[in-house]
Amino acid sequence: MTQRFRSYIDGQWVEGADSAQDENPSDLASPVGEYAAVDAAQAQAAIEAAARAQPAWGLTSPQQRADALDFVGSEILARKEELGRLLAREEGKTLAESIGEAARAGQIFKFFAGEALRIPGEKLASTRPGVDVEITREPVGVVGIIAPWNFPLAIPAWKIAPALAYGNAAVFKPAEIVPGCAWALAEILSRAGLPAGVFNLVIGSGRVVGQALVDDRRVDALTFTGSVPTGNGLLRQAAARGLKIQLEMGGKNPLVVLADADLDKAVEIAVNGAYFSTGQRCTASSRLIVESAVHDEFVARVGRRLAALKVGDALESGVDIGPVASAEQMQTNLSYIGVGRDEGAELLYGGEELELRTRGHYLAPTLFAAQPQHRIAREEIFGPVAAVIRADDYDHALQLANDTEFGLCAGICTTSLKYATHFKRHAQAGMVMVNLPTAGVDPHVPFGGRKASSYGPREQGRYAVEFYTTVKTAYTLA
């Protein structure tokens, strides 16, 4: 029987106005299920329920919130294999990567269960005699959550968990192509002892349901991860109505490889960062900037490594790279491969769709030798496609690394303390990696970027408190 993923509004599972298929990108002949997309009126009902439930939830004991989040985290961790399987079928990352992501989502709920009990405040001496000054943090209210498809459990987790921990109500809109993971998360949350309306899931399109979250004045804050054009559109609308907003958008993350690097390690770091999770990570190392002295050897070794990678069904054992997540993303990837060729970038490896046992969106890992001005070296592609760029020396590599509109993550492979230290200081990015892939972060520390990559306070770790709370300064004369 086809599984049907429904939305969750005001403590009830609801049917949608429209139905659509939930595809399995590894095997288009066996879809994951179907989903019921809600309409704008249903999204407004979810916002209404959240607005009604939030004041009481914001005043609950932090222990009650901690217990609810801990329950969710424990269940996700206990069921990580099963949830990982669903994720692998729906989004297409390999089973090992998917189980890892499910575990990460569980850990995030556990982390914020603890944070619910550690909401910070301050007491300062007043400049006036006899007066006390207290600074406290209160929930921001109703939080709208708009999530992308590339981390369908972890990204919703790192938005839902802090929203609830700090006493907010949440209305969560997942990306259209991953309704199953969203439903699975909501199903667990529906049994966590939350009062009706505190958490709502609205499955539907960005244009209708996402837009309803932006338009509705009962939404007090909006957190978004997705593409630059959508994010910038939301930012303009948020500014027009004074909506608190946080945006995590694209990246074109550089990985610098210096001549003094351990080349075998650098190749592993580059291949992991650029191609794992099918390159569909905002922190992917899509620009490999390699010092001239080792450039050719590096390219040859990356080529040998790519030739050994197995592309295939996300659930099959031994597969290193799953399918591209959707036909639309495949189209984007292929069109960029065409752009690269037309611009005169040299296609070194891959570049073609693969026909495998099952019909799916399979793309060979692709590497171009590019010039810094090529579009494939400047624009986010979001697939298993990387550009290698030659640098004369460290200074040139740093200049190339920073020559981008984005600033999410930047990496360097070097054995030199001097260059590593200089790079950490001068890379224009929110996150810097030394001898590590640009993708792959810890859950308990801030995540986010600079320049066109991000807007607003950082996500994750205790820095999440900035977005999900509002500060009150109280003066008392006893």
Residues identified as active-site: 248
Q: How far is the CB of 249 from ligand TXE (least distance, A)?
A: 6
Binding to ligand TXE by residue 7, rule CB under 6 A? no
Least distance from C-beta 441 to ligand TXE, angstroms? Answer: 12
Sheet containing 221-225: give its strands across: 12-14, 7-9, 199-201, 169-173, 142-146, 221-225, 244-248, 454-455
Cα of first residue to Cα of last residue in the chain, in angstroms, is: 68
Dihedral sign for Cα 431, 434, 436, 437, please: positive
Q: At closest approach, how far in Å is the CB of 255 from ligand TXE?
A: 16
Helices 62-78 & 80-91 angle (0-180, nearest 10): 70
The yes or no reply on residue 200 touching ligand TXE (CB under 6 A) is: no
Compute the chain's Rg from CA coordinates: 23
Cα distance between residue 81 and residue 95, in whole Å: 8
Phi/psi at 45 (5° precision): -65, -35
By C-beta, is 282 or 290 nearer to ligand TXE? 282
Q: Does 350 bind ligand TXE (CB under 6 A)?
A: no
Q: Are strands 254-257 and 409-413 parallel, antiparallel or unpaired?
A: parallel
Provide DSSP, 129-192: TTEEEEEEEEE-SEEEEE--SSSTTHHHHHHHHHHHHTT-EEEEE--TT-HHHHHHHHHHHTTT
* Closer of 190 and 227 to ligand TXE (Cβ): 227
Among the candidate windows 135-143, 160-168, 205-213, 356-364, which touches ligand TXE by CB under 6 A?
205-213
Contact stretch for ligand TXE (CB under 6 A) within 97-105, 115-123, 225-233, 385-393: 225-233
Compute the least distance from the CB of residue 262 to ligand TXE, in Å.
29
* 210-220 exposure pattern, b = at least 16 Cβ within 10 A, e = fewer: bbbbbebebbb
Identity at 390, one-letter amino acid code:
R
Tell me whether residue 231 or residue 350 sits nearer to ligand TXE (CB atom): 231
Min separation Cβ 229 and ligand TXE, Å: 7
Q: Scanning residues 366 to 385, which ones bind ligand TXE (CB under 6 A)?
A: 380, 382
As a whole number of angstroms, the longest Cα–Cα distance in the chain is: 79
Judged by beta carbon, residue 267 or residue 439, the one nearer ligand TXE is 439
Residues 249-308 that bind ligand TXE (CB under 6 A): 249-251, 282
Piece of the chain touching ligand TXE by CB under 6 A; list 60-68, 137-145, 208-216, 396-404: 208-216
Instruction: State the DSSP code for 314.
Output: T
Quote the tokens at residue 239: 């500014």
Q: Which residue from 173, 157, 146 is spatially nearest to 227, judged by alpha carbons?
A: 146
Give the type of residue at 132. D
Q: Residue 425, interface with ligand TXE (CB under 6 A)?
A: no
Say whether residue 25 binds ligand TXE (CB under 6 A).
Answer: no
Q: Which of 147, 376, 400, 412 binds ligand TXE (CB under 6 A)?
A: 147
Q: How far is the CB of 237 from ligand TXE (least distance, A)?
A: 8
From 143, 146, 311, 427, residue interacting with ligand TXE (rule: CB under 6 A): 146
Tell me whether residue 167 or residue 430 sits nearer to ligand TXE (CB atom).
430
CA-CA distances (angstroms) from residue 402 to 378, 398, 410, 424, 451? 11, 6, 9, 12, 11
Which 3 state secondary structure label does DSSP give 411? strand
Of 32-40, 161-169, 230-238, 399-407, which part binds ligand TXE (CB under 6 A)? 230-238
Q: Is 430 in the site for ligand TXE (CB under 6 A)?
A: no
Q: What mask of x and - would describe binding to ligand TXE in positions 169 to 188, judged by CB under 6 A?
A: ----x-xx------------
Residues in the chain: 478
312 scored as a contact of ligand TXE (CB under 6 A): no
Report the distance separating Cα 231 and Cα 228, nearest Å: 5
Which stretch, 179-187, 206-214, 349-357, 359-367, contacts ligand TXE (CB under 6 A)?
Answer: 206-214
Residue 452 interacts with ligand TXE (CB under 6 A): yes or no: no
| Binding interface with ligand TXE (CB under 6 A) | 146-150, 173, 175-176, 206-207, 210-211, 214, 225-227, 230, 233-234, 249-251, 282, 329, 332, 380, 382
